[in-house]
Every structure is written in structure tokens, then in C-alpha cells.
Structure 1
Amino acid sequence: MTASSPRTDLQPGDRAPDFTLSASGGRTVSSAELKGKPYLLYFYPKADTPGCTTQACGLQEVLPKFEADGLTIIGVSPDPVAKIEKFATKYGLQFPLASDEHHAVAEAYGTWVEKSMYGRTYMGMERSSFLVDGQGIIRNVWRKVKPATHAALVAEAFRDLSSGA
């Protein structure tokens, strides 16, 4: 697993940090392999939880359209590959789910953040997404994504990116 230096302020127009991660299906995903192709890198807190399942299944539903239009989807969580593999199998997720156990990539994208629940603070994954064009430039950033509407937001933004809007 590798990532470029940490950033917390990534915005549209910035170069996407490089990454290489182990993923479901025995795959490895990397920004180098995606050179020349647009992709969605989405960060989610924990495999097989209600929100993460809603989000992943929503993206799986539109995956054929995204793939036909040339968009690659990659999900990233701090879960180990074995847990991600079970999640992908259970819900028939065909796009790669990558393991960022040491959260180096999440830190590079600014999605490993301090969270709070019931008065307790801890570090965790912020549900965020980055739409990256074929030149490695971030075109859209969504922070604190709502799982149920995520796929529709991505579809609209990718349609605009594809049409040159």
C-alpha cells in the first residue's frame, strides 16, 4: 500500500494523490493503472454496515452504465481484505473494494478524520468521494456523502464531465 503525502484540503482542480491498494477479487488497484481513465474513488467507514451497504449496492446498480461510459469505481475502507471480500461476495459487488488498513490513502485524501459518537472522539473514515478525470485531476469532491443519494450524484457529475460541461 502506498500513497502520496497527506492532504486534507483536496478540491476540484487538484491532482489526485497516487495510490496502490489490495482489493477484493484478488485484485490490486492503483492510480498508475488508471492513467488515462476516469475513476471514482469512494471512501466508506466499514464493510457490511447499513449505510455502507446502501451506498455500495446503489453504485453496483448503476455499474453497467458507468462501465459502458468508461468510469471505474473503487471503494476504499480501513477493513482488512478478508472482510471486504465477504462484503463483496455477500452483495455481488463487482467493482473493486480496496483495503486501506493503515489509512495512508485515506490520509492522503483527507478522509481519515476525527469523529465523535456519544461524547467519545476517535479517528475514522469520513464517507467521501472523489471523481477523477483521465489526466488524474479531481473534478468533483463529495464530503459526508449520504449513502442513498450517492450514485445519483456521481451519475450526474460524470455525465457533465463526459459531455465537457
Structure 2
Amino acid sequence: MTSLIEGDKAPSFSAKDQNGKKISLADYKGKKLVIFFYPQDMTPTCTVQACNLRDNFALLMKHGLEVIGISPDSTESHKKFETRHQLPFPLLADTDRKIIDKYGVWGEKQLYGRKYMGLHRTTFIVDEKGKIMKIILKPKSKQHAEEIIAALAAG
């Protein structure tokens, strides 16, 4: 799992979103940012998580939060995911796992007793100065926005 801790400087990154636009952490300087790492577009749990953030996007923005999703999927896959579910935030394609590795969210997983390597669903809340305020390990997909707001309220 991630070796990053709250208070660490968020690792810088730059990648293309679903529209081919290059987005970097520096673009969000002076803003609070939610970076949610998820395993794969169109899968049931990832869809529930992304749609929860979509449905609560106005609430998150009201709390001064911007949102970015990152997965190892391609920009084309992200575009289909965004279009199918009307997602209002950028989805960054990290096909070479450079960002995923910087944030330490790739590792061994287990499903039905089978071990394999994959992305650990993890969310980072980054403050206006680029420091990690909160790390949510294993977010609850159906209540993810509520988890983020509660984490902010808890300080």
C-alpha cells in the first residue's frame, strides 16, 4: 500500500484526460483537490464510486473541492466511461502507471483466494498548498462523497 502519509507533499503528475487535455497537479495550486484512484472503467464498483461523486459533485464543489479520477485505462476508455455516466470531472489515463506508482496504490490484491497485482482503490485529499490532508484507504463506493466531506470536517 501507499507509503505516503497525511502531511506529505502530494507527488506531482501530468497526464491526459478523457478529452486529450494535459492536466497536472500544478493546475490545482490554490485549490483543494480530491484524487481518487480506481481500478477500471465500467466495472460495477468503480461505476458506483464515480456516479456517487457525480451525484454529489455540486456538494463537493460547495466545499471548495475539485475532483480528478485516475486509473490505468486509456483516454478512449475514459471517454466512454464519462459519456455513458455523464461524469463532470477529468479522468486521467495512467496507462504506464507512473502516477499510480508515485502514489503507491499498486500492489498485491486477493479475490476468491487468488492473488494478483492491481490498483488499490484509494483517495487522496490535497490542500491548496499541495500537501496531502487526508488519505482514504478502501473508500466506500456508495458513500464516497460523504466520506470525503466527513474527512474534511474531521480536520
* TM-score normalised over the length of structure 2: 0.93
Among candidates 59, 62, 78, match of residue 65 of structure 1: 59
> Is 1:124–2:124 an aligned residue pair?
no
Q: Name 1:14's counterpart in structure 2.
A: 8
Deviation of 1:146 (Å): 2.1
Contact 1:27/1:96 (CA < 8 Å) preserved in 2? no
- CA drift at 1:156: 1.9
Q: Secondary structure at the match of 1:142?
A: strand
Matched AA of 2:131:
I
How do 1:6-155 and structure 2 match up within 5 A?
8-155=2-149
Deviation, structure 1 residue 68: 3.4
Residues 24-79 of structure 1: CA distance to partner in whole angstroms, max 9, x if unpaired?
23322211111111100000000011100000000001111222332110000000
SS in 1 for 2:30: coil
Counting aligned pairs with the same residue, the percent is 39
1:53 counterpart SS class: helix
Q: CA deviation at 1:142?
A: 0.9
Name the counterpart of 1:3. none
Report if aligned partners of 1:60, 1:93 keep a CA contact under 8 Å in 2: yes
The CA RMSD over aligned residues, in Å, is 1.6
Instruction: Flag structure 2 segments of 5+ consecutive residues without an equivalent.
Output: none
Asked if structure 1 preserves the Cα contact closer than 8 Å seen for 2:11 and 2:102, the reply is: yes
For 1:27 and 1:67, how far apart are their aligned partners in 2?
21
SS state at 2:27 partner: coil
Q: For the residues of structure 2 that align with 1:123 and 1:23, how far apart are their CA atoms?
A: 24
Local SS of the residue matching 1:58: helix
Any conservation in 2 of the 1:77–1:98 contact (CA below 8 Å)?
A: yes
Larger mean CA deviation between 59-68 and 129-138 belongs to 59-68
Please give the alpha-carbon distance, in whole angstroms, between the structure 1 residues aligned to 2:2 and 2:52.
27
In structure 1, C-alpha distance between the alignment counterparts of 2:113 and 2:63, rounded to whole Å: 44
Normalising by structure 1, report the TM-score: 0.87
* Deviation of the 1:119 alpha carbon: 4.2
Specify the code of the residue in structure 2 equivalent to 1:52. Answer: C
Partner SS state of residue 80, structure 2: helix
Contact 1:113 1:124 in 2 (8 A): yes
Count of residues paired in the alignment: 155
Moved more, 26-35 or 87-96: 26-35
